[in-house]
Amino acid sequence: MGKINEFFNEYLEILDYYKNLTGINYEIRYQKEFNSQPEISSIIKKIIENKEYISSRLDPKYNKIRIRMSCPKCGLTDKNSILNKYENNKIIFNCPIHGEYYADLNKDTSMLEYNSPYRNLIRCIYYTLVNNNPNYDYQIIRVTGSDYAGFYQEEMRYKLASYLGIQHIRCQ
């Protein structure tokens, strides 16, 4: 929808202010670039392998993995992931106009979209993998809101990451 562009300069102004104040650089990354990281494929596969446990906690209403991809022909998407199917390394989606299409998890992760709880979980796992990997020469800091929703999401991510066997440092 392009709404981000209406306020992007103000956002950059805030980031530049803190960069000048602290001397710490920042990098802006978009979802497509984030999803292109090599670790994302294995994270998505791990979530699918544990879909019953994870979806019952992150989507108790539908009990679905809220991962979606827009139809390449018309852009429609099943926002609630109701009709998704999972076969081998593919997620099969369904467009009401054009029928089935799929994402190959070995090469199409850049096209995936998630609802907020799944996006937060995937980012949490990715950041933890980077921060625990000595091959990266940086650490990722994640700032989470201190309101009830931020606290709840941080606790949920911690529990799910632990369930998946990922060492995650709990935010205080």
Mean pLDDT of 142-147: 61
- Range in 46-60, 86-100, 120-134 the model is least confident about: 120-134
pLDDT band of residue 7 (cuts 50, 70, 90) is confident
Which H or E run includes 113? Answer: strand 113-114
- Range in 4-8, 19-23, 80-84, 133-137 the model is least confident about: 4-8
Beta bridge partners of 68: 113
Amino acid at 94: N
Q: Is the pLDDT of residue 143 over 80?
A: no
Nearest to residue 96, comparing CAs of 79, 76, 68?
76
% the chain with pLDDT above 90? 53
What is the tens place of the pLDDT at every residue in 61-105? 899 999 999 999 999 999 999 999 999 999 999 999 999 999 999
pLDDT band of residue 170 (cuts 50, 70, 90) is very low
Helix ranges (H only) for the chain are 4-22, 31-35, 38-49, 51-58, 116-131, 148-163
Q: 10 Å Cβ neighbour count for 3?
A: 7
What is the reported pLDDT for 172? 37
Mean pLDDT of 18-39: 90
Q: Determine the straight-line distance between the first and last CA of the chain, rounded to whole angstroms.
A: 35
> 103: helix, coil or strand?
strand
Tell me how far the alpha carbon of residue 143 is from its chain's centroid.
Answer: 15
What is the reported pLDDT for 45? 96
Instruction: Say if CB 84 and CB 78 are below 8 A apart.
Output: yes
The model scores a pTM over 0.85: no
Q: Is the pLDDT of residue 156 over 80?
A: no
Q: How far is 54 from 118, CA to CA, in rounded Å?
A: 9
Q: How far is 132 from 139, CA to CA, in rounded Å?
A: 9
Instruction: Give the residue extent of every domain in the chain.
Output: 4-163
Running DSSP on this structure, what letter comes out for residue 90? E
> 158: helix, coil or strand?
helix
Mean pLDDT of 128-152: 74
